[in-house]
Amino acid sequence: MGTSYYELKIKNRSLIKKKGAKSLRREGLIPGVLYFKGEPTENIEVNKNIINKAINSGQRIFEIQLDGEKRYSMIKEIQYHPVTDDIIHIDLMRVRRSEKITIVIPLTLVGEAIGVKEGGVLTQSLNQVEIQCFPTDVPEQIELDVSNLEINNSYSVSDLTTQSDEIIITSPPEINVVSIHMPVEEEETVEEDEMDMDSDDQSENVGDSAQQDEDSKEQEDASN
Backbone angles phi, psi at 92, to 5 degrees: -110, 140
* Same-domain status, 106 and 90: no
Backbone angles phi, psi at 4, to 5 degrees: -90, 150
| 108: in domain | yes
- Given a cut of 70, whether residue 219 has pLDDT beyond it is no
| 136: in domain | yes
Measured between alpha carbons, how far is residue 34 from residues 77, 99, 190 in Å?
11, 18, 59
Structural domain boundaries enclosing 90 = 6-95
- Does the pTM surpass 0.75? The reply is no
User: How much is the average pLDDT of 80-89?
Assistant: 92
Residue of higher predicted confidence among 73 and 17: 73
Quote the pLDDT of residue 1.
Answer: 42
Residue of higher predicted confidence among 90 and 70: 90
* Same-domain status, 44 and 64: yes
154-186 confidence digits (pLDDT tens):
999 999 999 889 999 999 999 999 999 999 765
* Same-domain status, 57 and 30: yes
| CATH at residue 51 | 2.40.240.10
| CATH at residue 176 | 2.170.120.20
Quote the pLDDT of residue 223.
Answer: 52
Going across the sheet that includes 29-35, the strands are 6-8, 61-66, 69-80, 87-95, 29-35, 42-47, 11-12
* Same-domain status, 84 and 11: yes
* Same-domain status, 48 and 27: yes
* Non-local CB neighbours of 40 within 8 Å, separated by 6+ positions: none
192 pLDDT tier (thresholds 50, 70, 90): low
Domain count, the chain: 2
| 201: in domain | no
* Same-domain status, 45 and 113: no
Q: Which helix (H) or strand (E) holds 157?
A: none
